[in-house]
Every structure is written in structure tokens, then in C-alpha cells.
Amino acid sequence: MVACFTNPNVVQAEEPTLVWADRNALEYCPDNTCERFESVIGVSKEELVDFGFLYLFFFGDYIYLEQWRKFGDHRKTATEILNKVEYSRFSGAYEVNKAKQILLHLSRGDRIRVIFIRYDEGEKAVSPISLNEVLIRKP
């Protein structure tokens, strides 16, 4: 998933799949719900992908993500993102702490927002997710 854009509309992470919903938004939709990562103009695709991957890997609550975290090279991908030169100023005794710092940095000033979407009986319900509340839940 690290800046893998073989198809410009899909960023493949085996499972889960983040889909480019539009120019500045990625969505992970495993069922009739989605987590949408929206960015303002000026945030690079690579930054948005990094954000989406780290968010899902370390903080995503979907049951489908439990198995995904355990298998494949996903831990390696998370570590590669955490160790990027542009994130070298962030540190932590644990990877999850560094991931928190990077997510807060990338989302500063509402540059990237997380939105929960639910499709129920043909209706679309949209509600913002507080990144701070999500990050507090995970020690």
C-alpha cells in the first residue's frame, strides 16, 4: 500500500482495500459502512495513503482488520511508513505512539478528516469521527 498506484482508482492492501472516492478522499468500505479519509487540496496522495494505512492498521475497529493485521507484510508496510524520512522527527517507545504522532501531524488544521458513513435502507448517514477520541482509546 505504500504509494502503490498501479490503478489510480484503487490502493491495494490485499485486504482491506482503500478506494479513491474522489481526488482527495479514500474510503474503506467492508460492508454497508465506510470510513472515509478526506484531505484538503495540498495534501499529497502519498500522505493520504500513509494516513489511511496507519489509521486502519493501528486504530481501525472493523473486525475484518484483525486478521489482516496478523498476516502478510502489513506490519512491514506499517514500519516502512513509520520510518520514512519525513516522519523521522516523531518518536515513541512503541510503534503505536509514533503512529499517533504522525496521524496528528498529517491531520493538523483539519488537513485530513475521518468520516463515518453508513448506508441504511438507501439512505446515506454521514458523521465526523474525532481523531483525538480514536487515538485516546488505544494506549
Per-residue pLDDT reduced to its tens digit, 1-54: 333 323 344 444 455 788 898 889 999 998 889 999 999 999 999 999 999 999
Is 5 inside a domain boundary? no
Domain presence at residue 58 = yes
Residue 2 domain flag:
no
Residue 11 burial (C-beta neighbours within 10 Å; 0-12, 13-18, 19+): buried
Q: Is residue 134 part of a domain?
A: no
Phi, psi of 113 (to 5 degrees): -120, 150
pTM above 0.95, yes or no: no
- Assess contact for 60 and 68: CB atoms under 8 A: no
Q: How many domains does the chain have?
A: 1
More confident residue, 67 or 97: 97
- Whether 56 maps to a domain, the answer reads yes
In a domain, 68, yes or no: yes
End-to-end CA distance of the chain: 25
Q: What is the pLDDT of residue 13?
A: 45
Q: Which helix (H) or strand (E) holds 129?
A: strand 123-129
Distance CA 57, CA 98 (A): 13
User: Where in the sequence is the domain holding 106, given as residue range(s)?
Assistant: 10-126
| Structural domain includes residue 4 | no
- What band does 93 get if pLDDT is binned at 50, 70 and 90? confident
